Amino acid sequence: MMIIRLDILLKYSNLLRMIQNDYVLKRSKIYLMILNLKELSKEPDVRMKCQNLSKKVIK
């Protein structure tokens, strides 16, 4: 029989949650960047720069 220490389990779950939150935050930032690029790309002079940037972000 295996004994699981609750304090270790709790630390582990908190760590996982932190990592997950960080990941979601980064993804949402990238998503917002892409939205901003799409807005900017309506202006023709900025268009090429935006397309290049969005390719880098998506990769």
Rounded distance between C-alpha atoms, residue 37 and residue 22, angstroms: 23
At 12-42, the pLDDT tens digits run: 888 888 888 888 888 888 888 777 777 766 6
Exposed, middle or buried: residue 7 (CB in 10 Å: 0-12, 13-18, 19+)? exposed
Angle between helices 44-58 and 6-40 (to 10 degrees): 160
Mean pLDDT of the region 5-16: 82
Burial track 14-50 (b if 16+ CB lie within 10 A, e otherwise): eeeeeeeeeeeeeeeeeeeeeeebeeebeeeeeeeeb
Q: What is the pLDDT of residue 58?
A: 58
| pLDDT computed for residue 27 by the predictor | 83
